[in-house]
A and B are shown apart, each in its own frame.
Chain A
Amino acid sequence: MQDNDLFADAARELLRDQCTPQVVRAIEGGGSPQALWTWLEEGGFADALVPEDQGGIGLSLAQVFGVWELCGAHALPVPLAETMVARALLAQAGAPCPAGTIALAEGRLEADGALRCAEVRLGRVADSVLVQHAGGWQLMPVARAASEPLAFCLDATLRWAPSQVVLAPVLRPGLPEGIDLRTLQACLTAALLAGALMDVFQRTLQYANERNQFGRAIGKFQAIQHQLAVMSEHVFAARMAAQLGCAGDGLFPDRLRVAIAKSRCSAAALAVAETGHAIHGAIGFTEEYDLQLFTRRLHAWRQSAGSESWWHAVAGQALVDGHAGLTLDLLRRATDVAEEATAE
């Protein structure tokens, strides 16, 4: 807990100063992410999950949860959380680590030997992509890919020609049973969502306290109070779920816990974005007002690495096909975290 807090405190200050809404807008508008990344790299955050004997800090998922949450709360437009996971995987595979940021993506080898990643989150600003495909894992440089834009402005579809694919060695990081790239990405995305959910809630609460209509703050109206109460319930539950997703003392999460984390945070994303905009009214709908930086991400992250329904199916299979007897026993397995993870 204390390591976690110290680490998060350092990130909080840096992100507050360097990842301002202006910086987010500039990068979304095509500006270079390099200056922002340099700050983060120099802060030592990107190597947090790499073991100490390989030059990292050797933290666990539970210990970086706070930083990931902050990345979400600042709409960080570079893949810090992804780079942290990718560097740890590379270290585990014994592969050299390139400079710069690394996105994570599922890929497909095409008949001619090309490699295509239909959806690379932050693929427009990343330096490399760690790709998992049917034949293993490969680290691909973004500069060598053909890039097409996707719906969210910082994401991209990337395709590497066969001549590029053969240059990249196939890596085999040792992953536990059931853990794949999507699980890892869902785990970190849930933490990002938890941070963004909290931010949207706090903004909306503040707006309700400041905006006057009918001679008083709109937050004094019971109808608005109840909407905010329901919104806060989603934020409260989603954060607990995201913490569950990151529970554990190593690099790898538990797949069922990730199913809980990603589905609960995704469901909350929809509800919180909706109420946030409803309470803000027209001003929240403008480009210049910061709310949109976060609500657009709530939707993008909900849709990333499996929406709630995708993970409901995973959890449902664990419960219906992989479990017999009382639901309570699977609930206990999913929520009773190991002692070390609760140490304060």
Chain B
Amino acid sequence: MSTLDSLTLSRIPAEDEALRAEVRAFLAEAVKDLPAHVRARSWGGYDAAFSRKLGARGWIGVTLPPEYGGGGRSAFTRYVLVEEFLACGAPVGSHWIADRQSGPLILKYGTEAQKQHYLPRICRGEAFFCIGMSEPNAGSDLASVKTRAEPDADGFVLNGQKIWTTNAHHCHYMIALVRTSGTAQDRHKGLSQVIVDLTLPGVTVRPITDLSGDSHFCEVFFDNVRLAPDALIGQEGQGWEQVTAELAFERSGPERLFSSIVLFDEWLAWLRTPEGRSESAVRLAGRIFTELAPLRAMSVSIQAKLTRGESPIVEAALVKELGTTLEQFIPAAIADDLFGRDSAEVPLELLRTLNYVTEVAPSFSLRGGTRDILRGMIARGLGLR
């Protein structure tokens, strides 16, 4: 059996599904006044107050152990939550990274003191994290990072720069991949992960305005920032292995299929009216649906593998490539439908949502590993490298 025929149909367990109705009801009320073009931001949408509300309900850190404030539930419970957040367009950006990556990372590699310090606040929606990976000269070639945490008697001294850091200006902490020994030529060796309190002296965060006018990503400068010894998370020198494991978990989730789902549903709502319906649009809707469905089945099946402790890295890369390609096709195809008609009174909110998703769509296949990097990973998985 090869990677390509390794997936069997899987189902989200009933005890995890049980949460869905409650989440749906809560979200229906919580987002009812948000217009579609705002809901379309979803995991790019920042709302700290909303995150605290979710935290109060126990819906952040749902997989973390109860002794650290978590829900003690399975990864499938989180899967259900995330599907609902994305489908409803809930503004979950504030706590997104802490919930998806930083919390589990701290649980896996952190000391007892680190877990006690960070995890309960993550679960309450009070500690937001960002990921410090990219640098001006280290993008796809992540191993060439130059930001350096120089060990000394009191801990580390941090110097350098990160860029494209999502939500850094709204976050409390960054988990940064930095060099703690050797030079950039040592590549994967000598890298470590450190937790940086972004309020420390010497840290400067500058938002970067993106092409849609939003400021969701930032550049972050470190000028002789003093880090205590317990800023190190995991093993010194094991940063590359830790980061790689982290990436595998973020490539096959619902957020790789549903980035355009609010737009798709908004368009479908119009197709269901007499003015909006056309045979070619119905067929296009069917095309998108028939591509989404196997992807959802694959994503659930990969989640089942992850839950069993397997590490389906290539499978996850395949899903991300397919998923983001479809996410990008959706706004392009909907625009062609709407503007391929002789005349139609298209609702303004649908057009605004289309415009937003069209503008941000290029990012879908950049974040979490570009298309070309993923194809290289797939090729390696196929034995071509």
* Chain A residues with a Cβ under 8 A of chain B: 1, 198, 201-202, 205, 208-209, 219-220, 222, 224-226, 228-230, 232-233, 235-241, 243-244, 247, 257, 259-260, 263-264, 267, 308-309, 311-321, 324, 326-328, 330-332, 334-339, 341-342, 344
**In the complex, are the beta carbons of B384 and A209 less than 8 A apart?**
yes
Q: Are A233 and B290 in contact (CB under 8 A)?
A: no
Are A244 and B282 touching (Cβ within 8 A)?
Answer: no
Q: Which chain B residues numbered 230 to 277 have a C-beta less than 8 Å away from chain A? A: 258, 261, 264-265, 268, 271-272, 277
Please tell me if the beta carbons of B298 and A326 are within 8 angstroms of each other in the complex: no
In the complex the two chains form, is B289's CB within 8 Å of A319's CB?
Answer: yes
Q: Are the CB atoms of A237 and B87 closer together than 8 Å?
A: no
A308 to B258, CA, bound (A): 22
Given contacts A267-B291, A319-B268, A328-B87, 17 further A-B contacts (CB under 8 A): A205-B384, A209-B383, A224-B384, A228-B384, A236-B7, A236-B318, A239-B5, A240-B294, A260-B290, A263-B286, A309-B283, A316-B282, A318-B286, A318-B289, A319-B289, A327-B87, A335-B300
A-B contact count (CB 8 A): 182
Task: Please state if A320 and B4 are interface contacts (CB–CB under 8 Å).
Answer: no
Interface 0/1 of B99-135, CB less than 8 Å to A: 0000000000000000000000000000000000000
Contact B9 A319 (CB under 8 A): no
For A342, list chain B residues within 8 Å (CB). 8-11
Q: Does B341 contact A (CB under 8 A)?
A: no
A-B contact pairs, 10 of them (CB 8 A): A205-B383, A208-B384, A230-B321, A236-B4, A244-B297, A314-B286, A331-B292, A335-B294, A335-B297, A342-B8
CA distance A314 to B286 in the complex (A): 7
B residues within 8 A CB of A264?
A: 290-291, 293-294
Distance from A196 Cβ to chain B, minimum over Cβ atoms (Å): 13
- In the complex formed, the residue of A with least CB distance to B321 is A233
Known interface pairs A228-B384, A237-B294, A315-B290; A336-B11 also in contact (CB < 8 Å): yes
Cross-chain contact A232 with B286 (CB below 8 angstroms)? no
User: Does B321 contact A320, Cβ atoms closer than 8 Å?
Assistant: no
Question: Given A228-B379, A312-B290, A315-B289, does the pair A341, B9 have CB atoms closer than 8 Å?
Answer: yes
Pair B298/A240 contact, Cβ less than 8 Å? yes
Pairwise interchain contact B8-A243, C-beta atoms closer than 8 A:
yes
> Smallest CB–CB gap between B372 and chain A, Å?
7
CB neighbors of A among B292-351 (8 A) = 292-298, 300-301, 315, 318, 321-322
> B54 near A: Cβ within 8 Å?
no
Q: A228-B382, A237-B322, A326-B87 are in contact. Are A320 and B272 (CB under 8 A)?
A: yes
Q: How far is the CB of B84 from chain A (nearest CB, A)?
A: 8
The CA-CA distance from A230 to B97 in the complex, in Å, is 29
* Residue contact B382 to A313, C-beta cutoff 8 Å: no
Most buried by B among A239, A308, A321, A328: A328
Complex contact B287–A263 (CB within 8 A): yes
**Which chain B residue lies CB-closest to A328?**
B87
Which chain A residues lie closer than 8 Å to B374 at the CB level? 229
By the criterion of a CB under 8 Å from any partner CB, how many residues of chain B are at the interface?
A: 56
How many whole Å from A332's CB to the nearest CB in chain B?
8
In the complex, the answer to whether A198 meets B286 with C-beta atoms within 8 Å is: no
- A333 closest partner in B (C-beta): B293
Tell me which residues across on chain A come within 8 A of B378, comparing CB atoms. 229, 232-233
Q: In the complex, A308→B290 CA distance in Å?
A: 9
User: CB < 8 Å: which of B12, B282, B322 contacts A317?
Assistant: B282
**A219 contacts B9, C-beta separation under 8 Å:** no
Within the complex, the shortest CB–CB distance from A266 to chain B, in Å, comes to 10
- Contact of A225 with B384 at beta-carbon distance under 8 Å, contacts A243-B8, A327-B268 already known: yes
Q: CA–CA, A264 to B293, complex, Å? A: 10
Contact residues in A for B382 (Cβ distance below 8 Å): 205, 228-229, 232
A326–B268 Cα distance when bound, in Å, is 9
Q: Across the A-B interface, give the 6 residue pairs with the lowest CB-CB distance, nearest first.
A: A316-B286, A315-B286, A225-B379, A312-B286, A316-B282, A229-B375
A77 to chain B, nearest CB (A): 23
CA distance A233 to B3 in the complex (A): 11
Is B66 in contact with chain A by the CB < 8 A criterion? Answer: no
When distances are taken between beta carbons in the complex, the residues of chain A under 8 Å from B272 are: 320-321, 324
Q: Which residue of A lies closest to B24 (CB)?
A: A326
Find chain A residues with CB under 8 A from B5 CB. Answer: 198, 239
Check: B285 CB closer than 8 A to any chain A CB.
yes
Q: With an 8 A cutoff between CB atoms, is B72 at the interface? A: no
Chain B contacts of A336 at CB under 8 A?
11-12
Nearest residue (CB) in A for B295 is A237
Contacts A201-B4, A264-B291, A334-B293 given; indicate if A316 touches B384 (C-beta within 8 A): no
A100 to B156 CA separation, bound complex (whole angstroms): 79
CA distance A240 to B379 in the complex (A): 20
